[in-house]
């Protein structure tokens, strides 16, 4: 431990497994006290004893002196490290609160956003009726895990509830059953509902990929114009199916564009051949 002191980093959990406990037991009382005194001068949030081992008396005394909590678990060291890392990663993750609705549509996490009154909750309700699952309505808590994952959930107070204009607050779990909800979901697609603007040019083919940035990560974005007669829920469901195809490497718009380019190149070659034949014939 004396030799390893330079490798101890403040802010980390100090873990004692079987090897560390056996090492402490092999030291003389004076050496053990010196080692623990040196180790616990580092600013650790706590000490964790794994494998069900009893904390050495010298460790408890030194921890009491420095005010460092000592925790104990029966888990083996690798399992304890894995579980502790997962818990800390989740609780210390960067977080944000977004206005919108989050649903699990065909296994794809879709965040529906847009101005107030564009029909986000009505769209979510229609999707629930079609068999998809609600995660959060109106308020979505988002946390970033690792470098590429965004997890969305619902505040505990409003979990399973939706507010619908003219109807009030409903409990989706009670109305449609437990299978109609889930507590959290990874956000993999953002659908932005917008009021239809006749003067605006909307995407017609789907070649231009847009992104919506959340906590520094870019998520695929689809802008969905809302107008009378458009069934937004069905369009969102189709968008989910299409996104799943894209994730598998199948991009229908690009495939169609490639086929069109190929046909145009073939037509151009045929025209060049005809011109050469005509030129050759005249000459």
Catalytic residue (choose from 32, 104, 120, 160): 120
- Are the C-beta atoms of residues 37 and 62 closer than 8 Å to each other? yes
174, 240: one domain: yes
Q: What pLDDT does 112 receive? A: 97
143, 199: one domain: yes
Kindly report, residue by residue over 140-169, the tens digit of the pLDDT.
999 998 778 999 999 999 999 999 988 899
Catalytic residue (choose from 91, 204, 208, 248): 204
Cα(242)–Cα(255) distance, rounded to whole angstroms?
Answer: 13
235, 258: one domain: no
Catalytic residue (choose from 138, 144, 161, 182): 138
157, 193: one domain: yes
Kindly report, residue by residue over 104-117, the tens digit of the pLDDT.
999 999 999 999 88
Catalytic residue (choose from 99, 195, 241, 265): 99
Of 45, 80, 115, the last residue of a domain is 80
Q: Which residue has the tokens 């998520």?
A: 219
Helix (H) or strand (E) holding 61: helix 57-66
Q: What pLDDT does 134 receive? A: 97
Q: Look at residue 85 and tell me if it is in a domain.
A: no
156, 101: one domain: yes
Band of pLDDT at residue 6, cut at 50, 70 and 90:
low
147, 279: one domain: no
Q: Look at residue 60 and tell me if it is in a domain.
A: yes
User: What is the average pLDDT value for the chain, to the nearest integer?
Assistant: 87
**Has residue 283 got a pLDDT over 50?**
no
Tell me the torsion sign for CA atoms 34, 79, 75, 10: positive
**Rounded to whole angstroms, what are the CA distances from 71 to 4, 35, 47, 57, 79?**
22, 19, 6, 14, 15
Q: Look at residue 107 and tell me if it is in a domain.
A: yes
For the question of residue 161 being annotated catalytic, the response is no
Q: Look at residue 122 and tell me if it is in a domain.
A: yes
Of 80, 109, 141, the last residue of a domain is 80
Band of pLDDT at residue 280, cut at 50, 70 and 90:
low
Cα(219)–Cα(108) distance, rounded to whole angstroms?
Answer: 12
Q: Look at residue 88 and tell me if it is in a domain.
A: no
Q: Residue 12 is part of a domain; what is its CATH number?
A: 3.40.1390.20
**Rounded to whole angstroms, what are the CA distances from 169 to 102, 157, 161?**
17, 13, 7
Total domain count for the chain? 3
Which comes out higher in pLDDT, residue 232 or 6?
A: 232
139, 216: one domain: yes
109, 41: one domain: no
Pairing of strands 139-145, 149-153: antiparallel
For the question of residue 138 being annotated catalytic, the response is yes
- Are the C-beta atoms of residues 73 and 49 closer than 8 Å to each other? yes
Of 17, 52, 80, the last residue of a domain is 80
21, 58: one domain: yes
Kindly report, residue by residue over 193-252, the tens digit of the pLDDT.
999 888 877 777 777 788 999 999 999 999 999 988 889 999 999 999 999 998 888 878
Pairing of strands 149-153, 184-186: antiparallel
Q: Residue 129 is part of a domain; what is its CATH number?
A: 3.40.50.300
For the question of residue 248 being annotated catalytic, the response is no
Q: What pLDDT does 258 receive? A: 81
Highest mean pLDDT among 9-13, 87-91, 135-139, 203-207: 135-139
242, 265: one domain: no
Q: What domain range includes position 278?
A: 254-283
The tokens for 131 are 């068999």
For the question of residue 83 being annotated catalytic, the response is no
Q: Look at residue 49 and tell me if it is in a domain.
A: yes
């Amino acid at each position: 431990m004396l030799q390893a002191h330079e490798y101890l980093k403040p802010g980390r959990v100090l873990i004692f497994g079987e090897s560390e406990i056996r090492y402490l037991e092999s030291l003389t009382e004076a050496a053990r006290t010196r080692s623990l005194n040196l180790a616990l001068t580092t600013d650790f949030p706590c000490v964790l004893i794994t494998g069900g081992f009893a904390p050495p008396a010298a460790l408890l005394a030194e921890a009491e002196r420095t005010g460092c909590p000592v925790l104990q678990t029966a888990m083996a060291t690798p399992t304890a490290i894995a579980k502790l890392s997962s818990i800390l990663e989740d609780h210390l993750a960067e977080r944000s609160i977004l206005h919108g609705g989050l649903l699990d549509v065909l296994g794809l996490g879709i965040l529906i956003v847009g101005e107030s009154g564009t029909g986000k909750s009505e769209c979510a309700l229609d999707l629930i009726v079609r068999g998809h699952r609600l995660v959060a309505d109106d308020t979505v808590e988002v946390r970033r895990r690792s470098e590429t994952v965004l997890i969305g959930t619902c505040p505990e107070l409003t979990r399973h509830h939706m507010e619908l204009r003219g109807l009030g607050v409903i409990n989706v779990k009670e109305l449609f059953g437990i299978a109609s909800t889930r507590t959290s979901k990874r956000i993999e697609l953002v659908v932005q509902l917008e009021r239809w603007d006749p003067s605006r040019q909307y995407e017609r083919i789907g070649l231009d990929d847009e992104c919506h940035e959340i906590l520094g990560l870019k998520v695929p974005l689809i802008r969905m114009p809302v107008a009378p007669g458009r069934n937004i829920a069905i369009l969102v469901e189709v968008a989910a199916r299409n996104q799943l195809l894209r994730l598998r490497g199948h991009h229908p718009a690009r495939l169609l564009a490639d086929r069109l380019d190929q046909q145009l190149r073939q037509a151009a070659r045929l025209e060049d051949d005809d011109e050469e034949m005509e030129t050759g014939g005249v000459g």
